[in-house]
């Protein structure tokens, strides 16, 4: 079995984080008694409080009451399932409602399981354990499916999803969002001169250098295609994007990868930048703009950011 497969069968639930949502303190106490020793629990007394927690610091699993004043559990679950960045948090309903149409409503709202109050401790623990295991396995598979095999940075699939998520987030919080398209200069000649295997290796080094240059946990780099990478920089305006682009160029230049067939003598990159400033048009196609700017950088001498 390879390492990923081994890890998959042995996911650790030690650091699992569960959000318990219930308007009645007594219910929260009961669940705390059953699960508090095994997991890191947090509590919310309303649907809105649960949403706030999910958006700021998402849990691995939610145990959700149905009947609550204002935002009830069903509505809260539907909102979670319709919010891309938190939609994959599993929601287990724990409710005193028992009619079959009430149970059906829980499944329809997007719940992954349904338990009736008062819950028996052992079944609750076992089911929570099973759901967390599945969640962590799914997370791991997703992570593997999102990485580029050659360079180890994110792939195009992840980039597409992340960009949608971050555009929605920027719009919600009225923050700017920037994107960089980084393309290695004269890489065809580099392959011709030094061979494919060595070129692959330098492609990896370049990807790693870009990754290391990005400072914030929300900044990401993805391989967009052959020798092209895209960086997504949340909460970053034009000036910040420019700064990151310059740092990427400097750090790649510092690798001093010899490229005899380039007028610059070393491996360099050109970068196209694109920004949606705060409160501007969040429908703007950042990739198209960055691509256009990259083309300009290529046309006007390469080894530059525009
Ligand atoms: P420019 O400065 O205009 O970007 O020129 P370029 O040669 O870098 O760009 P072009 O689009 O003409 O060619 C890209 C080349 O990158 C084609 C191929 O030789 C190389 N390339 C793309 N993907 C890989 C890869 O995975 N490994 C290696 N070794 N080379 C790759
Ligand atoms: Mg209630
Ligand atoms: Mg290219
Ligand atoms: Mg190129």
Q: Which percentage of the chain shows pLDDT scores above 70?
A: 97
Among protein residues, the one with the nearest Cα to ligand 1's atom 25 is 226
Alpha-carbon gap, residue 52 to 44, rounded angstroms: 9
Q: Which fold has domain 3-145?
A: Rossmann fold (3.40.50)
As given in the structure block, the two tokens for residue 117 are 């109050």
Directed axis angle between helix 196-213 and helix 187-194, to 10°?
130
CA distances for 153 relative to 25, 117, 163, 207, 287, angstroms = 45, 45, 15, 7, 18
pLDDT(127) > 60? yes
CATH code for the domain defined by 156-299: 3.30.70.270
User: What is the atom index within ligand 1 of the atom nearest the CA of 225?
Assistant: 23
Could you report the predicted ipTM of this complex, rounded to two decimals?
0.95
Among protein residues, the one with the nearest Cα to ligand 1's atom 26 is 226
User: What is the atom index within ligand 1 of the atom nearest the CA of 150?
Assistant: 26
- Work out whether strand 61-64 and strand 17-21 pair parallel, antiparallel, or are unpaired: parallel
Alpha-carbon gap, residue 14 to 124, rounded angstroms: 17
Q: Which of the four pLDDT bands, split at 50, 70 and 90, describes residue 1?
A: very low
Determine which one of 14, 103, 161, 227 is catalytic: 227
Rounded distance from Cα 141 to ligand 2 centre (Å): 35
Rounded distance from Cα 234 to ligand 4 centre (Å): 25
Evaluate whether 166 touches 242 at the Cβ level (below 8 Å).
no
For 100-104, 139-143, 200-204, which range has the lowest pLDDT when averaged over its residues? Answer: 139-143
As given in the structure block, the two tokens for residue 219 are 């900044």
Q: Which of the four pLDDT bands, split at 50, 70 and 90, describes residue 142?
A: confident
Return the best residue to mutate from 156, 182, 227, 264 for the ligand 1 pocket (most ligand atoms within 8 A of CB). Answer: 227
The HSE-up count of residue 10 (CA atoms within 13 Å, CB side) is: 7
Give me the torsion for CA of 170, 274, 292, 300, rounded to 10°: -170
The answer to whether residue 14 is catalytic is no
As given in the structure block, the two tokens for residue 67 are 């009947």
Where does ligand 1 bind, in terms of residues with CB under 6 Å? 150, 183-188, 191, 196, 199-200, 203, 226-227, 298, 302
Can you give the pLDDT at residue 237? 97
Averaged pLDDT score across all residues of the chain: 94
User: What is the atom index within ligand 1 of the atom nearest the CA of 184?
Assistant: 8
Rounded distance from Cα 84 to ligand 2 centre (Å): 26
Among all bound ligands, the one having the nearest atom to the CA of 228 is 3
Evaluate whether 63 touches 18 at the Cβ level (below 8 Å).
yes
> What is the residue whose two structure tokens read 């034009």?
238
* Predicted TM-score (pTM) above 0.80: no
Among all bound ligands, the one having the nearest atom to the CA of 65 is 2
Domain boundaries, the chain: 3-145, 156-299
Alpha-carbon gap, residue 274 to 50, rounded angstroms: 35
pLDDT(7) > 70? no
Rounded distance from Cα 246 to ligand 1 centre (Å): 22
As given in the structure block, the two tokens for residue 263 are 């007028």
- Per-residue pLDDT of 86-105, as tens digits, reads 999 999 999 998 899 999 99
């Amino acid at each position: 079995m390879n390492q990923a497969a081994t890890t998959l069968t042995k996911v650790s639930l030690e650091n699992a984080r569960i959000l318990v949502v219930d308007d009645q303190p007594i219910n929260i106490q009961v669940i705390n008694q059953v699960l508090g020793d095994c997991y890191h629990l947090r509590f919310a007394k309303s649907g809105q409080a649960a949403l706030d927690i999910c958006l700021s610091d998402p849990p691995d699993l939610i145990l959700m009451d149905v009947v609550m004043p204002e935002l009830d559990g069903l509505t809260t679950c539907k909102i979670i399932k319709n919010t891309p960045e938190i939609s994959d948090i599993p929601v287990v309903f724990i409710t005193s409602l028992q009619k079959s149409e009430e149970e059906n409503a829980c499944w329809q709202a997007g719940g992954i399981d349904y338990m009736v109050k008062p819950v028996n401790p052992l079944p609750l623990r076992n089911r929570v354990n099973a759901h967390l295991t599945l969640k962590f396995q799914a997370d791991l598979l997703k992570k593997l499916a999102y990485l580029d095999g050659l360079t180890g940075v994110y792939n195009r699939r992840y980039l597409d999803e992340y960009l949608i998520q971050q555009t929605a987030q920027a719009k919600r919080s009225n923050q700017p969002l920037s994107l960089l398209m980084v393309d290695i200069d004269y890489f065809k000649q580099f392959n011709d001169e030094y061979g494919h295997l060595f070129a692959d290796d330098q492609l990896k080094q370049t990807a790693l250098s870009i990754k290391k240059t990005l400072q914030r946990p929300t900044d990401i780099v993805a391989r967009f295609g052959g020798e092209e990478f895209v960086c997504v920089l949340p909460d970053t305006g034009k000036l910040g994007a420019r700064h990151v682009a310059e740092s990427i160029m400097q750090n790649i230049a510092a690798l001093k990868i010899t490229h005899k067939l380039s007028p610059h003598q070393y491996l360099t990159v050109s970068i196209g930048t694109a920004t949606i400033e705060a409160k501007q048009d969040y429908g703007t196609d950042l990739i198209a703009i960055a691509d256009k700017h990259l083309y300009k950088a290529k046309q006007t001498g390469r080894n530059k950011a525009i």
